[in-house]
Structure 1
Amino acid sequence: MKKILLLISLSILIFSCNQSEPVPKPSTFLRTDFPEHSYREYLSPQSFRFRLSDLFMPKHFEQAKNNYSVQEIDLGPLNGTLFLYYLRIPSKDSLPEIINFANDKVDEHKIMADKIDFEQILEPSKKVYGTFFELKGNVATNFQFYLTDSSQHFLRGEVLLNCRPNYDSLRPTLQYLKADLKELVNTFEWN
């Protein structure tokens, strides 16, 4: 009788170990496949030109004042907007103040940014000078830049994506977007 009881106990133990509790899987996100980068020449209603990604579409231009305007560029499947703020520099003495304003706009995101990388832009042959900022982390804007000829023209750009800032999930999109923005900055010319 003890043998039968032991055999039944062992068989219950063995069969009960085979059943596994369901383990919840972590949430996943779909991988986004992007096309090869391709560009076209874009001539702005303001005083500049650059190569713009074929995915992007200029959508709104607003001449706010005589020396100030805003250009919105839809980022297409990247689901965001590139804002270009153009300012005709009133006097050469005001340039440091304008550059400080652009830097302050980047500094507004220091609280949420894990890291801010920047790259100086110096193209004396084209009279293009500025800084390209990449803000890493869960920030509202991952890319900002400003360009100037240091005498008449100043342009500040910032990218806003239409989603919650989740840097890890957005990293592939941001890498793709960075290549397009670098092309814009590297081919930028004043008219």
Structure 2
Amino acid sequence: MKLRYVIAMITVFCIVAACKNEPIPKPKAEIRLEYPQGALATLETENFKFQYNELSKPEANKNKAYTLAYPEMNGAIFISYKKVENNIDKLIMDARRLSYEHAAKADNIVEQPYVNPEAGVYGALFEVQGNAASQSQFFVTDSVSHFLTGSVYFYTKPNYDSILPAAAYLQNDIRRIMETLRWKE
């Protein structure tokens, strides 16, 4: 009887030990953020007009400033307009200085010139890489009468890896603004 008991215990032990699954680590996953491509709408003021992403909510602020809010991304593109009054060098220098103020936190700042002689639009887009407060800055001008600046801000502590998809999406919207901008006389 003892032998039977010992054999039964060994059999139960072997069955239990054989059925035990080894834990398998799950592969690392990364979140994939995709944003829909919105239709285009036109923002028109007394000095300029451009096309913007209809998924944003435009708001007019005081002193000829505008906000294109993106609630789904918790961010916005801030745009401000100034008249050129024999101060084009100062306006351009201030726009560049504002962009390069982020250099302390940025890993890199890529300046991309923009020239559209047919529309009389000249400027630059600054792509700020790293944990800076603003991921993109831009300015455009006709060099005679009009000057427009803009910047992207997110309403959160900057973490470049996390906001990179949203920052790239808003940079494309900025490019569209620059490409479709037309001055009014």
Matched, 1:48 2:41: no
1:1-191 superposed matches below 5 A: 31-45=32-46, 47-63=47-63, 69-91=64-86, 94-191=87-184
Give RMSD over aligned pairs: 2.5
Q: CA deviation at 1:61?
A: 2.1
1:44 aligned partner, one-letter code: T
Aligned equivalents of 2:125 and 2:70: distance in 1? 18
Aligned equivalents of 1:113 and 1:145: distance in 2? 16
Aligned equivalents of 1:78 and 1:112: distance in 2? 22
TM-score, reference length from structure 2: 0.80
Asked whether the equivalents of residues 152 and 170 of structure 2 are also in contact (C-alpha less than 8 Å), the reply is: no
Count, aligned residues: 169
1:97 aligned partner, one-letter code: K
Q: CA deviation at 1:20?
A: 7.8
Query: What SS does the aligned partner of 1:103 have?
Result: helix
Q: % of aligned pairs identical?
A: 28
Deviates more, 1:31-40 or 1:94-103: 31-40
Where does structure 2 lack aligned partners over 5 or more consecutive residues? 1-12
Q: CA deviation at 1:178?
A: 1.7
Q: CA deviation at 1:38?
A: 2.2
Query: What SS does the aligned partner of 1:85 have?
Result: strand
Aligned equivalents of 1:139 and 1:85: distance in 2? 21
Deviates more, 1:166-175 or 1:139-148: 166-175
Q: CA deviation at 1:79?
A: 1.4
Where does structure 1 lack aligned partners over 5 or more consecutive residues? 1-10, 64-68
Q: Which has the larger radius of gyration?
A: 2
Structure 1 stretches (4+) deviating beyond 3 angstroms? Answer: 18-21, 25-29
1:52 aligned partner, one-letter code: Y
Asked whether the equivalents of residues 37 and 180 of structure 1 are also in contact (C-alpha less than 8 Å), the reply is: no
Aligned equivalents of 1:119 and 1:179: distance in 2? 13
Asked whether the equivalents of residues 55 and 77 of structure 1 are also in contact (C-alpha less than 8 Å), the reply is: no
